[in-house]
Chain A
Amino acid sequence: MTSTLAIARRELDAYFDSPLGWLALTGFVFITGLFFALMVSDFSMQSTEIAYNPYMADQFNMNDYLLPAFFSNWAVILLFICPAISMRMFAEDVQNKSFELLLSSPISSTEIVLGKFLGGLGFVAMMFASTLHYVVIFYWLGSPDPGVLGASYATMFLLAASFIALGMLASAFTVNQVVAFVLTFGSLLGLWVLSWTETIMNNEWSAFLGALSMLSHLDQLIKGLLHVNDLVYFLSFIFFFLFATQQRIESFRWK
């Protein structure tokens, strides 16, 4: 446990030792900030117009119309940023030969994988923490439902964790960080758009592929509606890729 935390800590520190961490962090805050400014001003303009229609005005609120739309955009931003977070995790270590320190230390490959995963999650947590001023502004402008806000953050965290888990596997298969990035981004994009097959063709195969897609599992969660199948989807996604990464690291030792 102490070694897992030590690895997580070092991993997190490493992001801030290179421009990568700072770039990802500022990039994330900048782009979400852009969306925030545009969507909040758009929402306030719409609500002024809608104020003349008493029935519509009753229905129109930030919990249904602003928050889910705003956080859905995060998913796309994370699709770009998470591969950049995960790409260096193993590729850099193996290329710098520093991986031999981990391999020759009395720690299991599970501890190595979990440590690095936790380090990545720590970085995501810091990214999310740097957006908390949006929450303050939401409360200042209106009365958001804390449940919806909490669910949005939790869903995005779960999504980022899934992206990073897949990215770790890609990083463990190459010493080249660019290759790891492209591999992760490509796979995620593929999984993302799988649900489109449902609109193109309509049979049991497309239903199966649609169920594998990330997008179809995100819609409900982001509205604050917790369905067991969506949670199970993301948790088993994370577990599967962490397990595959662990097996990959194990194969370094015994192949």
Chain B
Amino acid sequence: MIHVDQVTKSYGEIRAITDVSFSVGKGEVVGLLGPNGAGKTTTMRILCGCIGATQGRAIIDGQDVVEYPTEVKRRIGYLPENPPLYGSMTAEDYIEFAARIKGVKDVTAAVDRVINRVGLQSMRHRIIDHLSKGYRQRVGIAQALVHDPDVLVLDEPTSGLDPAQRMEIRKLLQELAEGDRTVVLSTHVLSEVESVCERVIIINKGQVVAQDRIENLVSESRRVRLRVARPSDDFVQKMEQIPGVAAVASHPDGAWLLSITDEPDNDVDIREVVAKTAVPFGLLELSPTQNLEAIYLRLTGVST
């Protein structure tokens, strides 16, 4: 559905992204991950035809974004990081305007449908400037959805929201991702990627440093996090003796991290053995670590 082929974007001397290539299949939900300034937004803006690439091409369903801008944009819904809202309009007028410039045939029906979809029924006649950030974000999503696009590109859809709003938007995203709509979303909230996306593309300093399904990435560095009440001297020794445990390291917060040798199917077993061994030391906590976070930090060059 989406092919980004060796896209480079330079602003004068500065290279925002270099040779970024990835593909997204129809119906896939892909997360674009990376620190601020890594080139996520630039990649998305090129994908949506807002800016042109210096080199390379972006192709949506066989059509080059540069060569067929109108056709491609009819099939893409884009939510920029700052929702592109006209604050003095009411939510409904704004969505209606978006529907008209996106060439929607039955405007009234489309506006009603999308307002119900994103849950703006009670706010439809309010002025956008008077809405809370969470509702403004919904108006932004409505704008991206109003022409029922096959591809949805969302740039940090939950940034700047409070936890409750974040949960609601995330739930909405999960609903939108169902069916065969292709979704690309960028974020730096890792739990969001894990809960919504099937696959991640990690970008750092303008380059793709990893792209894979989450479970594949995660299996690379499985670790067990352990916290015990009385870690005596032979605790580390005992842990290291468990077959399958590669190394034991202490974490600054007082917990222990056990690296597991890369053998499939020993994950469950080892936790059982680890638990048994740890009980005499006063086992408090035993959990798989946030592996994606570790991978992310490693790949983006931040030391753990």
User: Which A residues form the contact surface with B (CB < 8 A)?
Assistant: 2-3, 6-7, 10, 13-14, 17-18, 96-108, 252-255
Contacts and interface: CB of A to CB of B under 8 A. Distances in A.
Contact of A98 (B73, B74, B85): B85
A104 B50 contact: yes
Contacts, number: 81
A252 B74 contact: no
Contact of A107 (B71, B84, B101): B101
Contact of B70 (A7, A102, A103, A108): A108
Contacts of B88: 14, 17-18
B228 interface: no
Contacts of A10: 86, 89, 97
B51 A253 contact: yes
Interface string B91-127: 0000001101111000000000000000000000000
A6 B52 contact: no
Given A97-B83, A97-B84, A100-B78, 7 more contacts: A10-B97, A13-B89, A104-B49, A104-B78, A105-B98, A108-B69, A252-B51
12 contacts: A96-B87, A100-B45, A100-B50, A100-B78, A103-B48, A103-B49, A104-B80, A106-B69, A106-B70, A106-B103, A254-B51, A254-B52
For the complex of A and B, list the 4 residue pairs with the smallest distance between their C-beta atoms, beginning with the closest.
A254-B52, A6-B100, A17-B88, A101-B84
> What secondary structure prevails in chain A residues at the interface with B?
helix
Contact of A104 (B73, B85, B103): B73
Interface string B53-89: 0000000000000100111111010101011111111
Given A3-B101, A10-B97, A253-B50, A106 B84 contact: no
Contacts of A108: 69-70
B214 to A, nearest CB: 28
B143 interface: yes
Interface string B158-200: 0000000000000000000000000000000000000000000
A105 B83 CA distance: 14
Contacts of A100: 45, 50, 78, 80, 84
B82 A97 contact: yes
B81 to A, nearest CB: 8
A122 B152 CA distance: 35
Given A3-B103, A101-B98, A107 B70 contact: yes
Contacts of A103: 48-50
A203 B164 CA distance: 75
A2 B102 CA distance: 10
Contacts of B85: 96, 98
Contacts of B52: 253-255
A165 B98 CA distance: 25
A6 B101 contact: yes
Contacts of B74: 106
A13 B143 CA distance: 19
Interface residues of B, number: 31
Nearest to A101: B84
B80 A97 contact: yes
A97 B82 CA distance: 7
A103 B52 CA distance: 11
Nearest to A109: B69
Most chain-A Cβ atoms within 10 A of its Cβ — which of B48, B50, B51, B101? B101
A53 to B, nearest CB: 59
Contacts of B98: 101, 105
A7 B101 CA distance: 7
A169 to B, nearest CB: 20
A17 B52 CA distance: 33
A2 B51 CA distance: 24
Nearest to A99: B84
A6 B97 contact: yes
A252 B51 CA distance: 6
Contact of B100 (A2, A252, A254): A2
Given A252-B51, A253-B50, A105 B102 contact: yes
Nearest to B147: A106
Contacts of B101: 3, 6-7, 101-102, 105-107
A189 B66 CA distance: 39
A103 to B, nearest CB: 4
Contacts of A2: 100, 103
Contacts of B82: 97
Most chain-A Cβ atoms within 10 A of its Cβ — which of B45, B51, B85, B86? B86
Contacts of A106: 69-74, 101-103
B84 A253 contact: no
B73 A105 contact: yes
Nearest to B155: A100
A96 B74 CA distance: 23
Contacts of A14: 86, 88
A97 to B, nearest CB: 4
